[in-house]
Amino acid sequence: MIWLRQLLLGRLVRLAWLLPLAAVGLFTLISLAPIDPVQAYVGDRTSLIGPEQRQAIAATWGLDRPAPARFATWLGGVLHGDLGRSLTFDAPVAEVIARRFPTSLALIGSAFAVSFILGTGLGIAAAAARGGIADRTIRTAAVVLTASPGFWIAILLIALFAVGLGWLPACCAAPPGLTAEETGWLDSLRHLVLPVATLSVVGTAPLILHTRQRLVAFLDGPAALHLRAHGLSWWRIAFGAGLRHAVGPALTLHLAGAGELFGGSVLAETVFAWPGLGQATVQAATGADASLLMGIGLATLLFVFCGNLLADIAAHLADPRLRQASA
């Protein structure tokens, strides 16, 4: 287990310089953005809010002070465990994130699982049938999916399943008009289908191609040929020994791509009016809501960091050579 301790220590050191760097970078970007937070806050009441009231709003939110002073205040708060107050939602940032994170996690978690199972399974199937019609179909589909923008897939899914066939809802995380108590889990599940399908596409295609590539190499290797000589079918070999061979690296790749799921969730949440962190990110950005953007930014950073760490641990567990190298 020595490798694990070394890995964790190294990663903690990395996090220690990554977090402050990200915070400063994010804050600089937000300060330089050509959006006036007061104007964004006033919105369509421009005609009713006079100059004195604008100054009062700026003073209330501390927007009348220079950027370094604002950053110092924010940093002081964070060190005391206070992430500040969101201008967009007029609520503590920690509260906004806590309220919305589970909603996003349901989406991201489901998409992560679905794309992993689909990607790995299809990749292995393609490898088993390499050169055949199934292989070509799967590969073509993967390439098409890789090249398709997520929003376009979302619109396609909505047009087909929501508007055309009327099978699935096109918006929201639950049926509109029913309270939380009145909403059954089946309803929630139906609302999850299209956003998860959209988001899964992001991770599935590279996984198919990667798994297929890896497995073709294995199937052409001596071990697989040996099994074949014993009379096993390619399918049995692929989904038996091959699966064990491919699943570790596939999981590593997939965990490393967790950050992309976050990016994709911003889009999926916007299209499907899914009230999670992605939606809040868009609103915070358009309103120059520095505290909330910083909060979400750092939370995302931690999330992706953990994803990558898990990917590394998975890789070490799957491949003994890595463990020896670091020991």
Partner 1 sequence: MRRFFKSTLLAAALLALLGAVTAQARPLVLAVGGEPETGFDPITGWGSYGNPLFQSTLLRRNAELALKGDLATEWSLSEDRTLWTITLRDDARFSDGTPVTPEDVAFTFNTARDAGGLVDLTGFEAARVTGPHQVELELSEPRISFTNELATLGIVPADAYGPNYARKPIGSGPFRMVEWREGEHLIVEPNPYWHGGDVPFERVTFIFGSEEAALSLARTGEADLVAVPSSQADAPPNGMEALHVETVDNRGLMFPMVPDTGKTTESGVPIGNDVTADRAIRVAVNQALDREALVALALNGHGRPATGPADGLPWGNPEGAIPGNDPQAARATLKAAGWQDTDNDGTREKDGRDATFSIVYPAGDSTRQALALGAAQQLRGIGIAARPTGRSWEEIRTMMHSQVVVLGWGAHDPSEISHIYHGDFAGMGYFNPGFYDNATVNAHLEAAERAPSLEASLPEWQAAAWDGETGFSAKGDAAWAWMVNLEHSYWVSECLDTGKRQIHPHGHGFPITHDLPDWRWTCGE
Our separate counts of H helices and E strands in the chain read: 15, 2
Residue 32 engages partner 1 in binding (rule: CB under 8 A): no
Query: What span, in angstroms and rounded, lies between the C-alpha atoms of 279 and 265?
Result: 9
For every residue of 216-256, DSSP letters joined together read HHHHTSHHHHHHHHTT--HHHHIIIIIHHHHHHHHHHHHHH
Q: Which residues contact 219 (CB under 8 A, 6 or more apart)?
A: 127, 128, 130, 234, 237, 238, 242
Query: What span, in angstroms and rounded, lies between the C-alpha atoms of 261 and 100?
Result: 16
Residue 326 engages partner 1 in binding (rule: CB under 8 A): no
Residue 271 engages partner 1 in binding (rule: CB under 8 A): yes
Site for partner 1 in 98-137 (CB under 8 A): 99
Residue 167 Cβ, how far from partner 1 at the closest point, in Å?
11
Among 2, 32, 44, 229, which residue sits at the site for partner 1 (rule: CB under 8 A)?
Answer: 44
Among 88, 115, 198, 291, which residue sits at the site for partner 1 (rule: CB under 8 A)?
Answer: 88
Binding segment for partner 1 among 3-11, 106-114, 169-177, 192-200 (CB under 8 A)? Answer: 169-177
Query: What span, in angstroms and rounded, lies between the C-alpha atoms of 151 and 148?
Result: 9
Residue 2 engages partner 1 in binding (rule: CB under 8 A): no
| Cβ distance to partner 1 smaller for residue 191 or 254 | 191
CB 243 within 8 Å of CB 116: no
| Cβ distance to partner 1 smaller for residue 8 or 172 | 172
How many residues bind to partner 1 according to rule CB under 8 A?
Answer: 48
Among 1, 2, 46, 80, which residue sits at the site for partner 1 (rule: CB under 8 A)?
Answer: 46
Could you say which DSSP state residue 178 is in? Answer: -
Residue 165 Cβ, how far from partner 1 at the closest point, in Å?
12
Residue 41 engages partner 1 in binding (rule: CB under 8 A): yes
Residue 135 Cβ, how far from partner 1 at the closest point, in Å?
38
Residue 155 Cβ, how far from partner 1 at the closest point, in Å?
9
Residue 279 engages partner 1 in binding (rule: CB under 8 A): yes
Among 39, 73, 148, 188, which residue sits at the site for partner 1 (rule: CB under 8 A)?
Answer: 39
How would you label 7-39 residue by residue, b for 16+ Cβ within 10 Å and e otherwise? beeebeeeeeeeeeebbeebbeebeeeeeebbe
Among 91, 113, 160, 223, which residue sits at the site for partner 1 (rule: CB under 8 A)?
Answer: 91
Among 79, 179, 185, 186, which residue sits at the site for partner 1 (rule: CB under 8 A)?
Answer: 179
Residue 171 engages partner 1 in binding (rule: CB under 8 A): yes
User: At 104, is the secondary structure helix, strand, or coil?
Assistant: helix
| Cβ distance to partner 1 smaller for residue 41 or 116 | 41
Total Cβ atoms within 10 A of residue 244: 10
| Cβ distance to partner 1 smaller for residue 169 or 203 | 169
Could you say which DSSP state residue 34 is in? Answer: S
Residue 66 engages partner 1 in binding (rule: CB under 8 A): no
- Which of 110, 57, 88 minimizes the C-alpha distance to 285? 88
Query: What span, in angstroms and rounded, lies between the C-alpha atoms of 242 and 36?
Result: 56
Query: What span, in angstroms and rounded, lies between the C-alpha atoms of 37 and 287?
Result: 6
- Which of 265, 245, 216, 258 minimizes the C-alpha distance to 318? 245
Residues contributing to the site for partner 1 (CB under 8 A): 34-36, 39, 41-42, 44-54, 56-57, 59-61, 88-91, 99, 158, 162-163, 166, 170-174, 176-177, 179-180, 270-275, 279, 283
